[in-house]
Chains A and B, each alone.
Chain A
Amino acid sequence: MKEYEMIVIGGGAAGLSAAIEAKRHGVNVLLIDSNDKAGGQLVKQTHKFFGAKMHRAGTRGFNICKELLKESEDLGVEVLLNGLVMGIYDGDTVAVDVKVSLTEHKLMMLKAKNIVISTGASENAVRFEGWTLPGVMGAGAAQTMVNYRHVLPGKKMLMIGSGNVGLIVSYQLMQAGVEIKGIVEALPKITGWQVHASKLTREGIHIYTGYTIKKAHGTDRVTGATIAKVNPDWSLVSGSEIEVDCDFICIGAGLKPLTGLAHMAGCELIYDKALGGWAPAHNYNMETTKKGIYVAGDATGLEEASTAIEEGTIAGAAIAEATGHLSAAEAEERKAGAWRRLADLRDGFHGEERLAAKNKQLAEYDRLMGVRE
């Protein structure tokens, strides 16, 4: 069985950053991604990122992706593509189903004492009458088709959800020529950033706060939608219905961490709404309650690509230390730097809830490990 010092599962913002940081210090690392190209969801982010210079602020996500891929290539990070990790066994063995062609797959068993789970997140669905019709899709799905595959799912779109995903995807669909018929938000307030909402409203797009979708029309595809006002008890206000002329509907109702592998490997999960649901508890090194298994990025709680990059860097530095490639002092310098950059991104009123959840995640690790010892 082939053995590495470190295996990273998932080559998005977090995984690439973990592999880059570790390889930089000489760790023998393998990065596995289930797609035919690494980059995760950064590949479709056309907007300029927030942050400061040290977080690559002002650079478009897909260009940050290119920078990370180049760094990884220049350092010589070994990458296994089309590799779907099916499980982690005995805490150090990774089973991978590698797609060779349409009809041929091969099973690989690989070993590493240090494993990073950076599998990202999946979109939440919202159920309503007609939600299974072709033409109802995740907001991220529409973003993938338009910005990465360069095809349009339709001409006229209704967005459900005014979080940053809903706002940003609406904007990006508009840039590609889609007519935005409106954004519905069941809460009384827009949940994404005001600046993202404002760049839509000045293009004449209406954000229906206090509204939700009642029904998607159509028999074999979306031909329209009915939206309606929401009462405080979440029932619909009768007579408040508005008909929307659209041929596709995007659901931007948040995401949840993909924790399957961590759960299967025996990592303790904790629940926090601010993290997007269940996520593995971890320590200062991003190591889970299972020794040698680390997490980074959305897989350990929903945040942003910029925070995923820092968490990946921490895991990479911690593993470089664990494998003897960095002294404790050198590793601490790297980790502390990334934690400082994370603190900047989680600062302020809007980061408060997330910061509290992340701190709870660290505290839960201590509690869980303390109980065991």
Chain B
Amino acid sequence: MKADSTGILTVEELKEIGRYPSEERMKQGPIAIAECTQNIPCNPCETSCPFHAITIGERITSLPVVDPAKCVGCATCVTACSGQAIFIVDKSFSEEVGTVSFPYEYLVKFKKDDIVKCANRAGEYVCDGKVKRVVLTAKADHCYVVTLEVPISMVDEVRSVYRTWED
């Protein structure tokens, strides 16, 4: 896939390999997306899930499979994933906005309700978003889960806060 030479995954590629939830499911409420495309010997997403919604199986190099019926989007796996490759998306709020949650292991320079610039998988500024939650649990060991409210069309695109190097 193209990401092999760029590092940048696309929704199309993720859909192609069956790693993206259906539009209907995203409209019903939050769900985890594991943007993990290689056979990494690793399974903390599976073992950390309190709802047994992620399956890797006996061979820890298998790709994670998220059960859309069991996943509640609690984000436990987001910080458990050593590759920081799991995101929570939610398109259930309205026709206009949705949320994206992602792991964030940097100094946090924003707070709840701030308007921040949002970045896509290539780190490009794609839209503004509102910080809905910044959560740090002891179990997450210094990895925050940041939730941004973004235009519904950008839920599939936004994956981090846009980085400017000046600060």
Contact = CB atoms under 8 A, between A and B. Distances in A.
Interface of A: 47-53, 57-60, 63, 174-175, 179, 188-190, 193-205, 207, 209-210, 344-351
A351 B61 contact: yes
Contacts of A47: 82
Given A195-B85, A203-B119, A204-B123, A345 B41 contact: yes
B42 A201 contact: no
A197 B84 CA distance: 11
Contacts, number: 129
Contact of B5 (A60, A175, A188, A193): A188
B83 A50 contact: yes
B123 A198 contact: no
A202 B41 contact: no
Contact of B8 (A195, A201, A344, A346): A201
A200 B42 CA distance: 20
A202 B119 contact: yes
A195 B84 contact: yes
A57 B84 contact: no
A50 B163 contact: no
B105 A175 contact: yes
A199 B84 contact: yes
A49 B123 CA distance: 25
B123 A205 contact: yes
A348 B39 contact: yes
Contact of B163 (A53, A203, A351): A203
A53 B47 contact: yes
Contact of B48 (A58, A189, A209): A58
B61 A57 contact: no
A58 B80 contact: yes
Contact of A202 (B5, B82, B160): B160
B60 A347 contact: yes
A204 B119 contact: yes
B22 interface: no
Interface stretch (B30-38, B65-73, B147-155): B30-38
B41 A351 contact: yes
Contacts of B84: 195, 199
B121 A202 contact: yes
A202 B134 CA distance: 18
Interface string B47-91: 110000000000111000000000000000000101111000000
Contact of A50 (B35, B42, B123, B143): B42
Contacts of B159: 202
B115 to A, nearest CB: 19
Contacts of A59: 141
B6 A201 contact: yes
Nearest to B159: A202
B8 to A, nearest CB: 5
A194 B9 CA distance: 9
Nearest to B164: A204
Contact of B61 (A207, A210, A347): A347
B82 A58 contact: yes
B44 A57 contact: yes
Nearest to B105: A175
Contacts of A189: 4-5
Nearest to A304: B41
Contacts of B143: 48
B145 to A, nearest CB: 14
B11 interface: no
B41 A51 contact: yes
A95 B14 CA distance: 56
Contacts of B162: 204
A48 B82 CA distance: 5
Nearest to A346: B41
Contacts of B121: 198, 201-202
